[in-house]
């Protein structure tokens, strides 16, 4: 009895092994993934020494020319069915709307097959099914919009969004990066062709922005790092197109639509980056930096251009920018307080903050008020630097001060009055220029303090920028008032010889002041200006004093320049 039972068990085992062998052969011929248990008659040996149930069949599937050709043949049959539907629609056998609906349904069916194949581990089959779905569905949307006129421009963008979301969902669920690239390669060109042919740009701009954000998050979650770049680039370009259409002599987009697209671009990407860096606690990456710069230039710059050109939305843009900028400062200080290894995040958010605050203040306030606010911010940042010692505070002080000098007109005035201008009427410095002068003096004094900082060597560059604004503002202001008091002639014009001497004297005194100030600790950057000033005075005298001055005024100019040449280099020498 035992012998019979043993023989029966042996026969059953042989039969089971034969069935498993046949199943493995059939799965191989069909290009499907065979399980490890079916591939080996001995389950224990399979668990100990074979590759995984997914990796080995996938490799065999892509390397087996028979399987690949079979999948390619099936793809051509799929495309043949799509062309059959197109032919029936062209001949009138099917109404255009029904033909479009059938074509989209036909494409979605193959997308479902792609998802099923991916779930079963048949990756080559899933990819070919996805290619078939994309090559059927996206051209249907294009033809439905441009040829059959069944879909409007906005409806075509919505259809593209649904189809793209479906392909990306399958790619995400089944970890098929190839499907994501298929969506990029077909959906993006289809959208661009439709917007170019129909002239309906705004809906497709929204679609591309959302597509770009989806690709960004796929990169975050699945480490698909390259997919996000082309989509983001095309989205940026299309937003530029929307801005240009809104600013055209005959606008083709409303200011509200352009602002909506621009704000969506900025908000979608910045919100995603903020979630990753704040919630997940990650450092910013090169793509985030590049795309943030592009989004600010395209979105924020475009929004500022539209509001200035049309006069609408400036207040909302200004308030929003300032609020987000202040929030970015708060985020940066939060990273500092956590004492995490997130130095890149600090500089990323503070750089974003200074840009947003500059744009917001410029959009929200009139010229003189902008100068006052920016000058005050420069002093505040300098004071914070003197207490906290964070390098970005000193950099921002220099940025705000330079922006205030530009907005107030101080830069152009100072250069013109110190070096060139002399035509009537002679202008005096404006109150805004005096505000810049006072802010630059206070900032230079505060910046000279040496707290324990995160970049004391680099701090010399923004400190020098502050000193340069101060010297230029002080020189322009002195020349402006002295020329009006000493060189004005009865007819209101300015005596050129006296003006040249005044300029030489102011510059010579400036060289002596910066040389003397640079001797003191904390003011080392001042003496960087000594030799440039001395060389500049000599060139100016050759161009102006010897041409316009009288002997008496030329004597004064030469004496002042000679004294500066003798004393400034000696004063520049600091004691060890």
Q: How many CA atoms lie within 13 A of 56 on its CB side?
A: 16
Q: Quick: pLDDT tens for 195-224.
A: 999 999 999 999 999 999 999 999 999 999
Contact between 229 and 181 (Cβ < 8 Å): no
Tens of pLDDT, residues 309-365 = 988 888 889 999 999 999 999 988 887 766 566 678 889 999 999 999 999 999 999
Sequence spans of domains, the chain: 2-49, 379-494, 497-576
Give whole-number Cα distances, 565 to 314, 527, 530, 552, in Å.
52, 14, 10, 20
Burial tier of 41 (Cβ tally within 10 Å: 0-12, 13-18, 19+): middle
Q: What is the pLDDT of residue 113?
A: 95
141 vs 17: which has the higher pLDDT: 141
pLDDT of residue 280: 86
Query: Residue 462 pLDDT more than 50?
Result: yes
Residue that the structure tokens 């322009």 belong to: 476
List, for residues 243-289, the tens digit of each pLDDT value.
Answer: 999 999 999 999 999 999 999 999 999 999 999 998 888 889 999 99
Quote the Cα angle for 45-49-53, to 5°: 95
Of 180, 74, 81, nearest to 129 by C-alpha is 74
Q: Which of 516, 506, 511, 472 is nearest to 486 (CA)?
A: 506
What predicted TM-score, i.e. pTM, was given to this entire model? 0.80
Residue 471 CA to residue 7 CA, distance in Å, equals: 106
Question: In this model, does residue 45 exceed pLDDT 50?
Answer: no
Calpha distance 119→117 (Å, rounded): 5
The reported pLDDT for the residue numbered 393 is 94
| pLDDT exceeds cutoff 50 at 1 | no
For residue 458, pLDDT over 90 is answered with: no
Name 493's Cβ contacts closer than 8 Å, sequence gap at least 6.
Answer: 424
* Alpha carbons 50 and 46: distance in angstroms, whole number: 5
pLDDT value at 418 more than 90: no
């Amino acid at each position: 009895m035992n012998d019979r039972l043993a023989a029966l068990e042996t026969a059953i085992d042989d039969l089971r092994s034969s069935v498993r062998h046949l199943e493995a052969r059939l799965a191989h011929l069909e290009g499907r993934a065979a399980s490890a248990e079916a591939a080996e008659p001995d389950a224990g040996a399979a668990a100990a020494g074979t590759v995984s149930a997914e990796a080995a069949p996938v490799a065999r599937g892509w390397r087996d020319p028979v399987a690949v050709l079979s999948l390619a043949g099936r793809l051509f049959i799929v495309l043949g069915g799509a062309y059959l539907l197109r032919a029936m629609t062209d001949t009138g056998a099917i109404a255009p709307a029904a033909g479009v609906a059938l074509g989209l349904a036909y494409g979605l069916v193959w997308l479902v097959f792609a998802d099923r194949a991916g779930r079963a581990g048949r990756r080559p089959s899933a990819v070919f099914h996805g290619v078939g779905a994309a090559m059927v569905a996206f051209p249907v949307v294009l033809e439905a919009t441009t040829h059959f006129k069944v879909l409007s421009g906005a409806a075509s963008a919505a259809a593209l969004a649904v189809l793209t979301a479906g392909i990306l969902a399958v790619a995400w669920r089944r970890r098929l990066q190839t499907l994501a690239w298929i969506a990029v390669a077909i959906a993006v060109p289809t959208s661009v062709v439709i917007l170019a042919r129909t002239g309906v740009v705004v809906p497709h701009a929204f679609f591309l922005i959302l597509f770009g954000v989806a690709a960004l998050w796929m990169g975050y979650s699945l480490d698909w790092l390259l997919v996000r770049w082309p989509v983001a680039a095309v989205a940026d370009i299309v937003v530029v197109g929307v801005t240009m259409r809104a600013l055209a002599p005959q606008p083709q987009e409303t200011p509200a639509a352009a602002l909506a697209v621009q704000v969506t671009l900025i908000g979608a990407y910045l919100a995603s980056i903020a979630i990753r860096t704040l919630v997940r606690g990650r450092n910013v990456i090169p793509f985030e930096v590049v795309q943030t710069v592009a989004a600010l230039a395209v979105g924020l710059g475009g929004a500022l251009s539209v509001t200035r050109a049309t006069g609408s939305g400036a207040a909302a843009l200004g308030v929003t920018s300032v609020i987000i900028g202040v929030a970015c400062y708060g985020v940066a200080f939060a990273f500092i307080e956590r004492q995490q290894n997130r130095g890149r995040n600090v500089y990323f958010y503070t750089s974003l903050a200074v840009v947003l605050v500059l744009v917001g203040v410029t959009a929200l306030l009139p010229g003189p008020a902008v100068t006052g606010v920016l000058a005050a911010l420069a002093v505040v940042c300098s004071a914070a630097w003197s207490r906290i010692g964070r390098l970005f505070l000193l950099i921002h002080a220099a940025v705000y001060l330079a922006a205030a000098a530009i907005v107030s007109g101080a830069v152009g005035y100072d250069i013109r009055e110190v070096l060139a201008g002399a035509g009537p009427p002679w202008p005096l410095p404006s109150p805004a220029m005096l505000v810049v002068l006072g802010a630059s003096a206070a900032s230079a004094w505060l910046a000279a303090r040496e707290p324990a900082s995160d970049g004391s060597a680099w701090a010399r560059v923004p400190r020098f920028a502050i000193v340069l604004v101060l010297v230029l503002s002080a020189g322009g202001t002195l020349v402006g008032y002295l020329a009006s008091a000493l060189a004005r002639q009865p007819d209101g014009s300015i005596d050129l010889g006296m003006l040249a001497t005044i300029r030489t004297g102011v510059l010579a005194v400036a060289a002596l002041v910066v040389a003397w100030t640079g001797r003191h600790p904390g003011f080392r950057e001042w003496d960087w200006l000594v030799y440039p000033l001395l060389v500049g005075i000599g060139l100016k005298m050759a161009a102006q004093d010897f041409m316009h001055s009288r002997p008496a005024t030329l004597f004064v100019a030469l004496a002042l320049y000679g004294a500066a040449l003798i004393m400034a280099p000696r004063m520049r020498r600091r004691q060890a």
